Structure 1
């Protein structure tokens, strides 16, 4: 497996220098900053990712004010105290993307976030305290406990919210394959463990964030 510096050099050669590779690099938030994000914003970000899957993102963007209103501002307590037939009303609401499985997934995630809030004080606290050295475990936890948060949906939402993260984009996976870490996008616990070990090694070599390493890998192909 090439070192971080070797992969950075490959990316720099492709992009016209290290400065070009690192331009616009997002900075992850601290654990306390993540903990301060209201629970409704976590649900909103998960909902956006779920609704965008398989359709034009611009459609979701245009409908977003109505979606926010229909889902009660994604207020966790308000949503989880609605009567059972409220889901059927939502599915017929023209303000939203009327997909029964997606609506049910958003409601499931509201209950999931509420459970975590009751345990940890806030959903953001649990996310913020999750160590970067086990980001793979966080991704798998979201997939197992949440609804429709598998693939890149959960990881992308974490990145958007500021969690130090890596994404299994096509280019990142291609670099991981080239380095002999995996032979395809990870789906098993063994493969995810191999990915995490590789990122931990690169992080130890560079002191860089997972976000930065992920972006460098993506630009090296």
Structure 2
């Protein structure tokens, strides 16, 4: 039987910086639907891999400018010159594999439009069961659903998507109800 964490304030990871606190209170775990919104969160999760979330949040405005507001059609049209331009942009994370993943994932996102769309596919992995915290009252880092989502996305041409960052995406956009598990919003 899982324990429930009762939390009146933001958890430690979100309380130590005003940018993180705003993100936690206003966005994290709240439902995000729509192609551009889910695509943006996917890209940010890809860029966050191996880095702190605070780093990504502080660069979010620059990411939005650099990646055309995360419009999948615009990003899908990026060419080698765009990748080189982004690699010289100190305002974002300059990692070739992650930049190329954003372009590849935008192209794959467009390919899903005929089958109901990217957002619908991601949301189809919503689980019925409640999130159970571990003995240290920590959230899991992956789930059966995040593993299946990662596999499905890879089969459709997406890159840099694994069970852990897909679980983070699912938590961030409200597919996994982490706010209730943490004793928030209810």
* TM-score, length basis structure 1: 0.56
Q: C-alpha deviations, 1:11-49, integer Å up to 9, x for none?
A: 3xxxxxx5xx3657xxx88xxx76xx2212112111111
**Is 1:54 the equivalent of 2:50?**
yes
CA shift for structure 1 position 94: 2.1
Residues 102 and 83 of structure 1: CA distance in aligned 2, closer, same or farther (over 3 Å): closer
CA shift for structure 1 position 92: 1.6
Gaps of 5+ in 1: 1-6, 12-17, 166-210, 217-221
- Partner in structure 1 of residue 149 of structure 2: 138
**Greater helix share, structure number:** 1
CA shift for structure 1 position 51: 1.4
**Is 1:106 the equivalent of 2:102?**
yes
- Asked whether the equivalents of residues 139 and 155 of structure 1 are also in contact (C-alpha less than 8 Å), the reply is no
Residues 90 and 212 of structure 1: CA distance in aligned 2, closer, same or farther (over 3 Å): closer
* TM-score, length basis structure 2: 0.65
Match of 2:170 among 130, 152, 158: 158
Residues 148 and 83 of structure 1: CA distance in aligned 2, closer, same or farther (over 3 Å): closer
**Structure with max Cα Rg:** 1
Gaps of 5+ in 2: 9-28, 129-143
Q: Please, what is the CA RMSD of the aligned residues? A: 3.1
Residues 127 and 59 of structure 1: CA distance in aligned 2, closer, same or farther (over 3 Å): closer
- Asked whether the equivalents of residues 79 and 110 of structure 1 are also in contact (C-alpha less than 8 Å), the reply is yes
- Asked whether the equivalents of residues 142 and 150 of structure 1 are also in contact (C-alpha less than 8 Å), the reply is no
The aligned length equals: 147
